[in-house]
Amino acid sequence: MLNYSLIDMSELKFYELTPNQRLETLNLPENVMMALKNAQDLVSGQIIENYVSNFTVPMGILKHLLLDGTAYNIPMATEEPSVIAAANHGAKMLNAGGGVHTELLTDNTMIGQILIHQITDYTALQVFLTAHRDEIFAKAQATHPSIVARGGGLKNIELRMVTDNMASIDCFIDTCDAMGANIVNTILAGIIPIFDIFHTQILAGILSNYATQQLVSATVCLPFSAVGGQDIAERIVAINHFGHHDVYRATTENKGLFNGASAVTLANGNDWRALEAAGHAYAAKTGGYTALATWSIEQQQLKGTLTLPVSVGTVGGAISALPQAQNALRIIGERVSANQLRRMIVATGLAQNLAALRAIVSDGIQKGHMRMQYRALALQIGATPDEVPQLTEKLTQLSRVDTTIATQYLNELREKS
Ligand code: NDP
């Protein structure tokens, strides 16, 4: 626990207070205050502003996912019951087809945008860009020499018309093993002064989260037996087809695969909002929003493919600062590259997708879900960890469960023991 000396808090702004002093201003009961103080650590307070305590998300393992011929144990952080059980079930089905084959489809550069508006002479802008190309590359290198030394840095620049008076200068930057948001923004800030004659028209230099140069695909071919027979395989294809034509279904299917993909991303301290923003934009790449995964029957096998734009790192940001993120990476392996992690995120998304589709076209998703929800309910009504399995078992046998019923059974359980 941290120990800070008391000072006159009234003269300080909230952000200037220590974590414990901030808590003092929130008028909390003593037990809540103690719990929040006990969950503090010194590192986290350096990462975010107005820090008061840590919020812990449960982490579990996707065990033995066969990915490009190697079996991985992949940490997943999620608050949602049944996600990790489903991911493991999905992996088991994928493994029955020899596992997932992944591919990096693009050159793995992040896109930084220099946003220009009120353009009256588009050709002048194009001519300027061509004439100053070498200067821009030299400045980009000088702005971030260490990323250049690692083989990264600015790789290409393209002018892209957005409307007849708006354009984006798209800068393609290799950020190596870092996710790269700060690296990109730093390089953009370095090169923008070169465009000084357009300074009134330049709105901003900022990375784009639509990572279309960081596409990763995962593919599997499964025997029908892996999912329980040809009939179920055909129903998986049919419900996925629905998601390619109905935005209501597509949104739910895509949320389901991010249950897995985002949980892997979060466990390693990566930015899962970036992953999801890019993924949802990619789902709408044709103008309409559709399911991201595609399932089909080919040569008497069930074939599944998932392609996602993935910007993640294994160094930098919170990944290097948070011991929890480092520990999660260590579970995967000794030296995990950003590209390896990107492949795992998409493969996990595919496993999660298959498990969800299989469940909803066969047993129904509720059966598996409710067992996990009842565990959460048991804890919520005060069951001890020892009591949870027995109470959960009892609740799954009932046709209707609510808090009152669960409490009644917990009391009965206690009376009997
Ligand atoms: P950092 O700013 O921490 O940059 C990563 C640093 O890691 C590099 O500058 C480099 O520093 C060091 N490094 C060490 N080894 C390597 C290697 N092998 N490859 C690459 N770099 C290496 O983080 P990012 O630029 O990755 O930014 C990620 C953070 O930005 C995330 O936390 C994200 O949430 C946040 N963010 C996201 C935004 C968005 O998505 N829109 C916007 C702004 C921030 P050195 O060369 O000095 O060793």
pLDDT tens, position by position, 352-386: 999 999 999 997 666 666 777 888 889 988 999 88
User: Ligand 1 pocket check: which of 108, 141, 173, 179 to mutate, most ligand atoms within 8 Å of Cβ?
Assistant: 179
Q: Is 303 a catalytic residue?
A: no
Q: How confident is the model at residue 40 (pLDDT cuts 50, 70, 90)?
A: very high
User: Ligand 1 pocket check: which of 207, 271, 320 to mutate, most ligand atoms within 8 Å of Cβ?
Assistant: 271
On the CB side of 108, how many CA atoms lie within 13 Å of its CA?
Answer: 20
Which residues fall within 8 angstroms of residue 35, CB to CB, at 6 or more apart? none
| 254-289 residue pLDDT tens | 999 999 999 999 999 999 999 999 999 999 999 999
Q: Is 37 a catalytic residue?
A: no
pLDDT, residue 417, reads 80
Q: How confident is the model at residue 1 (pLDDT cuts 50, 70, 90)?
A: very low
pLDDT, residue 364, reads 67
Distance from the alpha carbon of residue 190 to the mean position of ligand 1, in angstroms: 16
Instruction: Please report the atom of ligand 1 found closest to the CA of residue 175.
Output: 20
Task: Give yes or no for a contact between 76 and 331, defined as CB atoms under 8 angstroms apart.
Answer: no
Q: Closest residue (by CA) to atom 35 of ligand 1?
A: 181
pLDDT, residue 4, reads 47
Average pLDDT in the 94-118 region?
97
Sorted by where each starts, the structural domains of the chain and their CATH numbers stand as 4-46 (no CATH), 60-105+215-364 (3.90.770.10), 110-208 (3.30.70.420), 368-416 (1.10.8.660)
Distance from the alpha carbon of residue 210 to the mean position of ligand 1, in angstroms: 17
Report the C-alpha gap between 378 and 395 in whole angstroms. 9
Q: Closest residue (by CA) to atom 33 of ligand 1?
A: 271
Q: What is the DSSP string of 86-148?
A: HHHHHHHHHHTTT-BEEEE-S---EEEEEEE-S-S-HHHHHHHHHHTHHHHHHHHHHHSHHHH
Does residue 126 have a pLDDT over 80? yes
Distance from the alpha carbon of residue 255 to the mean position of ligand 1, in angstroms: 27
Is pLDDT larger for residue 319 or for residue 417?
Answer: 319
Residue 318 near ligand 1, beta carbon < 6 Å: yes
Q: Closest residue (by CA) to atom 4 of ligand 1?
A: 316
Residue in this structure with the two tokens 């008497």, named with its chain if needed: 300
Catalytic residue among 80, 103, 234, 246: 80
pTM above 0.85, yes or no: yes
Q: What token pair was written down for 119?
A: 């353009």
User: Looking at residue 54, what DSSP letter applies?
Assistant: -
| 159-183 residue pLDDT tens | 999 999 999 999 999 999 999 999 9
For residue 73, the tally of other CB atoms under 10 A from its CB is: 12
Q: What token pair was written down for 303?
A: 């074939």
SS3 78: coil
Q: Closest residue (by CA) to atom 32 of ligand 1?
A: 317
Residue 91 Cα distances to 61, 64, 177, 262, 356, angstroms: 12, 8, 26, 16, 12
Task: Give yes or no for a contact between 262 and 75, defined as CB atoms under 8 angstroms apart.
Answer: no
Task: Give yes or no for a contact between 387 and 407, defined as CB atoms under 8 angstroms apart.
Answer: no
Report the C-alpha gap between 22 and 9 in whole angstroms. 9
Q: What token pair was written down for 225?
A: 């037996």
pLDDT, residue 372, reads 76
Residue 176 near ligand 1, beta carbon < 6 Å: yes
Nearest to 228, CA basis, from 93, 85, 66: 93
Q: Is 89 a catalytic residue?
A: no
| 201-232 residue pLDDT tens | 999 999 999 999 999 999 999 999 999 999 99
pLDDT, residue 2, reads 41
pLDDT, residue 3, reads 47
Task: Give yes or no for a contact between 153 and 105, defined as CB atoms under 8 angstroms apart.
Answer: no
Burial profile 308-321: b = 16 or more Cβ within 10 angstroms, e = fewer: bbbbbbbebbbbee
Catalytic residue among 170, 177, 271, 276: 271
Q: Is 255 a catalytic residue?
A: yes
pLDDT, residue 371, reads 76
